[in-house]
Each structure stands twice: as structure tokens, then as C-alpha cells.
Amino acid sequence: MFMKVLLLLVISTFSLLAEEQINSRKPDVYMGRQIAYTMHANAANWLTRTSREKEESTQEMINALELKEGMVVADVGCGNGYQSLMMAKLVGVKGKVLCVDIQPTMLKLLKGRANKAAVKNLETILGEYEDPNLPKQKVDLILLVDAYHEFTKPAEMLAKMHESLTEKGVIVLVEFRKEDKTVPIKEDHKMSKVQIMKELEANSFKLVRSYDKLPWQHMMIFGKADK
Ligand SMILES: C[S@@+](CC[C@H](N)C(=O)[O-])C[C@H]1O[C@@H](n2cnc3c(N)ncnc32)[C@H](O)[C@@H]1O
């Protein structure tokens, strides 16, 4: 029990440090939700901490994406590429991972990790606050892990991501569960299922399925809503 409390304390402290601000002013409120400050690249080590697999069951999450060889996938808000590298293996040399972040330092760290692991089927893209700069109608799946809640222009980002998806393409949100007080993450960095549904449905997406077995996070998969 003592060890569990200690672990939770350490994680909470790191998640607070990770919130060092790159935004010059407090982010807006979107559909009743306070948008979180952007996590600074100075805290990138937190994203590749060794305890992460145990805390978030990251491999299980990646398996639940049901990726196939040859797919074109995007990791938007990729940070230093924790999930990008895992996805690159699964889509294989015929596939590609487009890794988008607004912080050049994050992309530099990702490139370093990819080179070390000899991963070649990924491309880095410097995104903008309202545009991930993805190619139009080319992406089969967009993964957003702990990233959507930081988007300072969520509607604009969703519209651009919608355009980048193929007809059957999906967007996957993985967000810390706001409904669960035991998840040791700051409130603004969590989202409830109801809020996720509200924001995605308002922006022309429909829920296709959800995976509810991750220890701390919601995983919700959306396709394009019928016109
Ligand atoms: C908490 S980190 C998560 C990184 C990675 N997905 C992971 O789970 O390891 C959130 C990342 O989203 C990025 N981000 C925030 N707003 C963004 C935007 N509008 N477009 C692209 N990236 C963004 C931040 O720079 C940061 O690297």
C-alpha cells in the first residue's frame, strides 16, 4: 500500500513538472472544457519512462488499433515518438508513420530515437496549432495519445484531420479518464467520455468502437460521420 501511494505521488509530481508552459497565455475553454497547457519538450523523458508500459498498457493499446501492414498512419502530438516507433514496426516497410508535433525539439528527439532503432518508415512533420499539415485523404488512422486535450484550436485541428483521412479512415483518442479520481494526472489533462463524444460529434465524427480495458485511459475510435 505504502509503495502504491509513493508511486502515485511520484507520477503526479512528474505530470506537474511536465506541464511547464510553452503557451504564452492561459489556453481557452472549448465546449465547457478547459484546454490544458502544452507539455514542454524539456519534460520529454517522462514520456519514455520505464514504468509507462506497466501504468498505461501501451502494447495492449497499440494492439487494439488493429494495424495492418502497408497502412499510412499519423501520430499527431507524437512527442518524442513513444507510440510512433511501435506503430512503425506494425505497418512495415510498405506502410508509413507520419509523426506530427508543434515542438521541433520533440521531433528532433524522435528522429534520434528512430535512428538508434534503425526505423526508416516514418516521417516527421512540424505541425501548427490549427493544422497538423497532413496530406489530404491519404491517412488510414490518426492516433492521438494524451494530446487532443492540449490542442489550443481543437475544432480547427479536427477539421484538418477529417480532411486528411481516407473515406474509411479513423481517428483514435486515448485520454486519461476524468471520471476516475484514482488516475494520478492533473484534471485539465483528463477527459470524460461524455466530453469526448460531445466534441467529436460536433465536428463531423461518429463513434465506431471503444476499447475499455486500459488501466488509466479511455480509448475511443471515431470514423467520419455520414453526410
Ligand atoms: C503529453 S504529450 C504526448 C506525446 C505522445 N503522444 C505520447 O503519448 O508519448 C502531448 C504532445 O502534443 C503536442 N501538441 C500539442 N498541441 C499540438 C498541436 N496542435 N499539434 C501537434 N502537436 C501538438 C505537444 O507538443 C506534446 O509533444
Atom of ligand 1 at shortest range from CA of 144? 6
CA of 1 to the centre of ligand 1 (A): 33
Instruction: Please indicate whether residue 73, judged by its CB atom, sits closer than 6 Å to ligand 1.
Output: no
Is the distance from the beta carbon of residue 78 to the nearest atom of ligand 1 less than 6 Å?
yes
Tell me the CA–centroid distance for residue 99 and ligand 1, in Å.
10
State whether the beta carbon of 100 lies less than 6 angstroms from ligand 1: yes
Confidence (pLDDT) at 26: 87
Q: How far apart are CA 166 and CA 170, in angstroms?
A: 8
- Rounded to two decimals, what is the model's pTM? 0.92
Residue 107 cell numbers, joined: 521531433
Protein residue with its CA nearest to atom 4 in ligand 1: 79
| Domain containing residue 212 | 2-224
What pLDDT, on the 0 to 100 scale, is given for residue 86? Answer: 98
Cβ of residue 200 lying under 6 Å from some atom of ligand 1: no
Using alpha carbons, select from 73, 48, 95, 90 the residue that is nearest to residue 143: 73
Q: How far apart are CA 90 and CA 73, in angstroms?
A: 10
Ligand 1 pocket test target in 49, 124, 146 with most atoms within 8 Å of CB: 146
Q: What does the pLDDT read at residue 226?
A: 83
Ligand 1 close to Cβ of residue 61 (< 6 A):
no
Which residues of the chain are modeled with pLDDT < 50?
Answer: 1, 5, 7-20
Ligand 1 centroid, distance to 162 Cα (angstroms): 18
Per-residue CA distances from 93 to 56, 71, 226 (Å): 27, 10, 33
Number of folded domains that form the chain: 1
> How high is the pLDDT of residue 18?
46
> How much is the pLDDT for 108?
98
Q: What is the CATH number of the domain that holds 195?
A: 3.40.50.150
- Residue 39 near ligand 1, beta carbon < 6 Å: yes
The kind and range of the H/E element at 11 are helix 2-17
Please provide the average confidence, as pLDDT, over all residues in the chain.
92
